């Protein structure tokens, strides 16, 4: 079983293998054969929502108070 991704690669679900769309790649050839056999891959998962401002601050290791201090906002 396969799943499409946001890019050109294919995700093989049984082992989470990330298969490039290279005609010389054996796994991709197997995927093409799988398609020729009449199968259909699962759609790509929805793109993750862009991170919120709070999430961006958290990823940067900052708090709202830290940001206020940096900007001189009391």
Partner 1 sequence: MANWSNPQLTSTYTNFVTEVKDRDVDLALQFDGTTSTNIPTNTIRWNSSINRWQKWSGSAWGELTSTYALNALSVSGSTSLGTATATTVATGDNSTNIATTAWVKAQNYLTSVAGSFLPLSGGTITGNLTVGGTFIAGGDICASGVNGGSFAFRNKIINGDFAIDQYNSGAVINAITATAYFTDRWQLNFSGATGGSIKGQQNYNVGTVGLPRYFNTYFGFENNTAVSQTSADAINIQQRIEGFNVASWQWGIATSRDALLSFYFRTSVSGTYGVSIQNAANDMSYVTSFLVTAGAVNTWTAVAFRIPSPTTGSWFKDNGVGIRVRLSLGCGTSSQTATTNSWISGNFHAPTGAVSWVGTAGATFFLTGVQFEPADNVNAVVTDFENPPLSTKLALCQRYFYNATQYVGPNNAITTYHHPVRMRATPTVTGGGTNYNTMLLDTNGVAHYRTVADSRAMTYSAEL
CA distances (Å), origin 5, targets 33, 38, 40, 56: 19, 20, 14, 24
Q: For residues 43 and 1, is the Cβ–Cβ distance under 8 A?
A: no
Q: Which of 37, 33, 45 is nearest to 3 (CA)?
A: 45
Minimum gap (Å) between residue 59 Cβ and partner 1: 7
Site string for partner 1, 17-56 (x = CB under 8 A): xxxx-x-xxxxx-------------------x--------
Minimum gap (Å) between residue 21 Cβ and partner 1: 8
Give me the residues that bind partner 1 (CB under 8 A), please.
Answer: 5-7, 9, 12, 15-20, 22, 24-28, 48, 59
């Amino acid at each position: 079983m396969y799943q499409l991704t946001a890019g050109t690669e294919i995700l093989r679900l049984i082992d989470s293998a990330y298969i490039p769309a290279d005609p010389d790649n054996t796994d991709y050839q197997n995927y093409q054969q799988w398609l020729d056999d009449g199968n259909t891959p699962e759609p790509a998962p929805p793109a993750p929502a862009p991170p919120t401002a709070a999430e961006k601050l958290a990823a940067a290791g900052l708090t709202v108070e830290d940001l206020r201090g940096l900007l001189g906002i009391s």
